[in-house]
Amino acid sequence: MDHPSTADPDPATSTTSSSSTHSTTTTTTPSSLRKRLLSVDTSSRCGGSERESKARSEMAETERDVESAVPVPMSPAGRLFREKHFNCYIVAVIGLGSRVDVAAARAGLEATLVRHPRFCSVQVTDDASKSAKPKWVRTTVNLDDHLIFPDLDPTATSSSPDQAIEDYMSTLSTTPMDHSRPLWELHVLDFPTSDAAATVAVRMHHSLGDGVSLLSLLIACTRSAADPSRLPALPPPAAQQPRRREGGVAAAFVAWVWWCVVLAWHTVVDVVLFVATSLFLRDARTPFAGTDGVEFRRKRFVHRTLSLDDVKLVKNAMKCTVNDVLVGVTSAAMSRHYFRKTSDINSEKSKRRKNIRVRAALLVNIRKIPGLHVLAEMMKSSKSNGARWGNLIGYMGKRTVDRKKSSLEAIFTYRSGNLIVKLFGIKAAAALCYGMFTNTTMSFSSMVGPSEKVEFYGHPIVYIAPSVYGHPHALTVHYQSYMNTVKVVLAVDDAQFPDAHQLVDDFAESLRLIRQAASANS
């Protein structure tokens, strides 16, 4: 079922849709695509490092090619995010340490974001052929179509600014975007909140790229707060623990063979379970599970700030990874919420809930080179580029973190999805993914952000809170690190989780209890 209030115009049937913004905004919609050449000084605000030179060259090349570039076919993953049940959008609330300088923001956007190939392109499908694949076609960006200044109630923004932003972000989840333009928006909410002097909200269609791509692009649009002449330092890659090899070459060979056997076995089992999940293996019906049509309903985005030092303390005490700790915090928080919601049920049901199955679709970056990357490196088109731009994510139905680390399930789901698209079409791949999502309970993702304070076109960033909507889950959990903090961001079905703030508080309380236990046992 597709509701007109939430469905986007289909670019195959409409190229000039009505206004894409909420009725309270002051922007207008053009009746046709604008063809205006950009002329912006790309050397401003840039330092002299090799990395920044590459970024400037990439942006300049994009500007030169804006009219002449040939259409680029959309990837299978990008096409999947256009399907009715996966019409997905990424949203990111960014808290700023100063009020918004609109002129500086416009200049920064024109010098960076609007020159990116995906952010100056529209999705076009040949109407004459039903089998035609959508393509990215370059156009000229009118920044006034993408900078949105909502006209909110002054009483609400002054008396309860945090709630005003939360409510506004919730309305975006049911407000369609105009597919006759590049599919991104920057919403300016220029009033102070409890933890920021102003807020900007970025909304973009998921077909533009995945979290790694878009966060790398965001970093390319920022500068170090300590030294505005340079780009922020990228987070260091996770340290790889060297394997101890005892007993000589023979023992090492046996260990390698055993590792291969375990990897193959886990992959086969996980793939079978993935297919079974897509077809019939359904999670128990808990307060977290979504119902039919949840992907079309209004979402609410709530977030809390956690201490990265606390997470690392637990990591060191348990000799695990940061992601292991975050999965544990998520499990503990959901348990607290579940037992509070079901505390009044009878003893017979209490016995049944001991064996419930609750799984998450864990979004995994399957690039050969993990972590964030320099934007110019990501934009190289070579197939051998291990950090290339796009939607390079795999899905894993997850219960045991360590078990999944010795499996190729995520890579299999990505590559098999591409194969299914080639053999049977995008509708078959979408049906397979839809079954996987509707038969699991939630989505989970974590991203590493800048380790130092950064400025967004001259505005100090206080926090980054990303999320996503448009997929068939009632609960999505995102973790985003920045400096010495971690933001936990929940996207929940607004009607199903009227106590969303209590749920996100459970995450903070769970980390506190886990840290307390780790400190006592260390």
Catalytic residues, which ones?
206
Closest CA to 52 of 477, 433, 377, 482: 377
Residues 6+ apart with CB under 8 A from 140: 33, 34, 35, 36, 37, 38, 66, 67, 120
CB 124 within 8 A of CB 134: yes
Question: Cα-atom radius of gyration of the chain, to the nearest Å?
Answer: 23
Rounded to an integer, what distance in angstroms lies between the CA atom of residue 110 and that of residue 36?
Answer: 13
DSSP secondary structure letter of residue 8: P
Rounded to an integer, what distance in angstroms lies between the CA atom of residue 308 and that of residue 306?
Answer: 6
For residue 29, CA distances in Å to 98, 168, 169, 442 come to 30, 20, 21, 36
At residue 151's C-alpha, the angle toward residues 145 and 155, to 5°, is 160
Closest CA to 123 of 112, 113, 134: 134
The DSSP H or E segment spanning 430 is helix 426-439
Rounded to an integer, what distance in angstroms lies between the CA atom of residue 218 and that of residue 207?
Answer: 16
Beta strand pairing call for 393-398 and 360-365: antiparallel
